[in-house]
Amino acid sequence: MKAPPVVQPNRITFLSALSAMATISGLKLGKEVHARLIRSNLDGEPSIGNSLITMYGKCGEVATGRLTFERLPSRDVISWNTMLSGYAQNSQLGSCYELFKAMQLSGSRPDFHTMTILLCAMSPGSVSSSSCRPGREIHGYLVRRAAVKSLPVSVYNAIIPMYFRCERVGDAEKVFKG
């Protein structure tokens, strides 16, 4: 009897495996997949790199995600947003804002998803009620860079609770009514 042919995993196989590891916080298996990706020379491919960053972020290994991010041969807005999300999910607001500044300096243009990530990163414990400066700066950035009427609902859905978390109910109400 002839042995069946050996099927090698491809890019899609690896993306599916990384997604599964991120969903179940399977760090050990995720690292094994990462090692296999390195051996297969696929770890520098943008979608694979972004999936690795997501997996590490969801497993609480943001520093390893950042190493992966730094090793990407090129970064697009999705790569930046993925790394920002990792910091936000792990309540690392300072690192999130530092990376946002680096994103701007790199010439990569933030999109509305970038702003939503930053606004959502402001969890109740990360901002004092007397200081809402980072969120207000992001809101101002959005007003300066985009026609306010063209902002997607998701951005407003991040701005309004940000103001509530900062105990700035009047500002939240203005945004809602506007």
Q: What is the pLDDT of residues 52-80, one digit of tens each?
A: 999 999 999 999 999 999 999 999 999 99
Residue 79 near residue 109 (C-beta atoms within 8 A) = no
> Tokens for 167?
């105990």
- Average model confidence (pLDDT) across the chain: 88
Given this model, what pLDDT does residue 7 score? 81
Written as tens digits, the pLDDT of the chain (178 aa) is 788 888 888 899 999 999 999 999 999 999 999 999 999 888 888 999 999 999 999 999 999 999 999 999 999 999 999 999 999 999 898 899 899 999 999 999 999 899 899 888 875 555 444 457 778 888 888 888 776 667 888 888 888 988 888 888 898 898 888 7
Write the CA distances from 154 to 12, 21, 115, integer angstroms: 29, 27, 10
DSSP state letters, 14-58: HHHHHHHHHHTT-HHHHHHHHHHHHHTT-TTSHHHHHHHHHHHHH
Given this model, what pLDDT does residue 5 score? 84
Write the CA distances from 37 to 31, 42, 70, 176, integer angstroms: 10, 5, 16, 46
Given this model, what pLDDT does residue 125 score? 54
Return the residue matching tokens 């690292």: 31
* Chain Cα centroid distance, residue 49: 13
Helix (H) or strand (E) holding 22: helix 11-23
Q: What angle do CA 139, 74, 65 make, to 5 degrees?
A: 70
Helix (H) or strand (E) holding 43: none
